[in-house]
C-alpha cells in the first residue's frame, strides 16, 4: 500500500515520500481552512489563506483527473479500484506512478508463457 517494490522517486523510497506528502497536505489544509487565534499555523492573513486554498484547489483538481486515469489503469492491472482511486486522489502523481509500474494482464500472460517455454 505504501509502495513496497516500487522504484524510488529521485532516490527517495516511495513509502516515506507518500506519507510525507499526505502529512504536508493535511498541514496545508489546516492552515488554509482552520482559524484558531494564537496558533501560528492557523493565524494567517486572509490573502495567504486564499492563496493556500487556491493551491489546494489546483492540486486536487489535477489529482481528481489522475484518479480517473488510475481507475482505468487499475482495471488493466487487476488491482482494486477502492485502493488506487482514493490513493491517487490524495497522494497524486506518486501513487499514479506506483500503479503504472505494476504489470498489465497482457504482460503477466507473456511472462507466464515465457516461463512455460523455458521449462520445456
Residue 19 predicted with pLDDT over 80 = yes
Q: Which domain, by its residues, includes 55?
A: 14-119
Residue 72 predicted with pLDDT over 70 = yes
pLDDT-derived band of residue 2, with 50, 70 and 90 as boundaries? low
Count of structural domains, the chain: 1
Does residue 5 form part of some domain?
no
Is the CB of residue 81 less than 8 Å from the CB of residue 54? no
pTM, two decimal places:
0.80
Q: In the chain, what is the straight-line distance between the N-terminal and C-terminal CA atoms, in Å?
A: 36
Does residue 4 form part of some domain?
no
Does residue 74 form part of some domain?
yes
Tell me the β-bridge partners of 12. 9
- Which of 13 and 41 is assigned the larger pLDDT? 41
pLDDT (0 to 100) of residue 120: 67
Which residues lie closer than 8 Å to 102 by C-beta, 6 or more apart?
77, 79
Measured in degrees and rounded to the nearest 5, phi and psi for residue 62 equal -65, -45
pLDDT tens digits, residue range 94-118? 889 888 888 888 888 888 888 888 8
Amino acid at each position: 500500500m505504501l509502495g513496497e517494490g516500487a522504484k524510488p522517486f529521485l532516490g527517495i523510497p516511495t513509502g516515506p515520500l507518500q506519507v510525507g506528502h499526505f502529512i504536508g497536505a493535511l498541514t496545508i489544509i489546516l492552515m488554509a481552512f482552520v482559524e484558531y487565534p494564537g496558533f501560528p499555523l492557523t493565524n494567517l492573513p486572509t490573502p495567504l489563506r486564499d492563496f493556500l486554498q487556491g493551491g489546494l484547489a489546483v492540486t486536487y483538481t489535477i489529482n481528481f483527473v489522475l484518479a480517473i486515469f488510475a481507475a482505468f489503469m487499475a482495471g488493466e492491472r487487476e488491482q482494486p479500484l477502492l485502493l488506487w482511486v482514493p490513493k491517487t486522489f490524495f497522494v497524486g502523481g506518486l501513487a499514479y506512478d506506483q500503479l503504472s509500474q505494476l504489470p498489465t494482464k497482457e504482460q503477466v500472460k507473456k511472462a507466464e508463457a515465457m516461463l512455460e517455454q523455458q521449462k520445456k
